[in-house]
Structure 1
């Protein structure tokens, strides 16, 4: 019989802690692309039944962070280099459009939130925590998207940002190791000031340059560490 004083996990809450832990480990590349996620092993690790483990994996699949194979096993989603050109093309369009709209439609309340998110990013940089940096970077751009007042474009943009977090983690590692380039902090400040000033064209130009910086550094990392036949055409210059 269960002891009355034994701490109990709230019903239905177990999957959330598993989800949060695995998501952080996937984004930080502690769990490598292609790594097997066995339900039984995870159940033992987290000391719970397989049901919350399965729920957490379903949620991660919805985030496109894990993949279920034909044999029903689950692995950490690969980083698909062959689709990176299309990914960064879509990111560029979404980033430019949302930043343009923010410069046109932002309110004082929006500006305060964007500035707060930039402070969070700077704090993560000072702490040299790449996982916090990628999350804070995402939240900075999501705040800009919300300031653009188009929930459809903002939702699409946020999904792209989530999909790119592992690549951004590699981007940060490359910059830290090589000392080449910079960690986007100055570009964030410039984007915030363009949005604050209502300068739509400058906001567009900076958003485009921001994507191009990420693209160039990520591909430099790939050339240094992997052999790849990815044919990545330069992003079209901002018009």
Structure 2
């Protein structure tokens, strides 16, 4: 992996996870030393993060981590819903059944773990990320995928600010399994409907969590 790609990946993950909080100054000398890269690849990484909307220039201070767009949650989900539902339709139409059958088996196991009271949050989120990647590959539409990736980045930051609810995680596991079941069966309408239901409930949960736990 190139130094700039490595720096981008680490910084992006730290921003999304909240390790680098909104307003954090990303000074070149400090970040180059911390990440073990020279300033040229760091600048390339920061440029990509700026294009993602994760960092921005601020009042002569240099680049800082941007605020999480809490006031735009509904807007983000409107765009995300349109894109994700279409992606699910296309995945059901163009999928490799074997790929989604494997994910189906994993989601059934994850569902059982969650029902048994073991949230395994990181493992579950990694599984969902692999599901997203499989859907992206199946749609065979690079423009749709790249647009969706930008929206997911900001949604991931918002999700990290909401508090994990074990019951909601169990519901989400069931919803993801419904999506995969529909894709395996090749049902475009059911895949889109299951996706719509999942995103509706996700938005409702995020808004409820933030209302209960204001930042």
Instruction: Tell me if both proteins adopt one fold, taking TM over 0.5 as the criterion.
Output: yes
Report the TM-score, using the length of structure 2 for normalisation: 0.81
Q: C-alpha displacement at 1:192, in angstroms?
A: 0.8
Structure 1 residues 220 and 95: CA distance shift in structure 2, 3 A = same
CA distance in 1: counterparts of 2:101 and 2:168, whole angstroms:
31
Aligned to 1:199: 187
Gaps of 5+ in 2: none
Say yes or no: does 1:21 pair with 2:13.
Answer: no
Say yes or no: does 1:138 pair with 2:129.
Answer: yes
Say yes or no: does 1:222 pair with 2:210.
Answer: yes
Larger radius of gyration: 1
CA distance in 2: counterparts of 1:226 and 1:156, whole angstroms:
30
Q: C-alpha displacement at 1:33, in angstroms?
A: 1.7
Aligned to 1:174: 164
SS class of match (2:18): coil
Aligned to 2:172: 184
1:163 to 154, 160, 164: 154
2:28 to 39, 42, 48: 39
SS class of match (2:24): coil
CA distance in 1: counterparts of 2:109 and 2:59, whole angstroms:
41
CA distance in 2: counterparts of 1:180 and 1:136, whole angstroms:
16
What is the aligned length? 212
Q: C-alpha displacement at 1:223, in angstroms?
A: 0.8
Q: C-alpha displacement at 1:134, in angstroms?
A: 4.1
Structure 1 residues 45 and 141: CA distance shift in structure 2, 3 A = closer
CA distance in 2: counterparts of 1:150 and 1:50, whole angstroms:
35
Aligned to 1:230: none
Indicate the larger mover: 80-89 or 181-190.
181-190
Alignment of 1:68-217 (within 5 A): 68-71=57-60, 73-112=62-101, 114-115=103-104, 118=107, 128-130=120-122, 133-171=124-162, 173-176=163-166, 179=167, 182=170, 184-217=172-205
Structure 1 residues 199 and 47: CA distance shift in structure 2, 3 A = closer
Indicate the larger mover: 207-216 or 190-199.
190-199
Q: C-alpha displacement at 1:74, in angstroms?
A: 0.9
Gaps of 5+ in 1: 1-11, 228-239
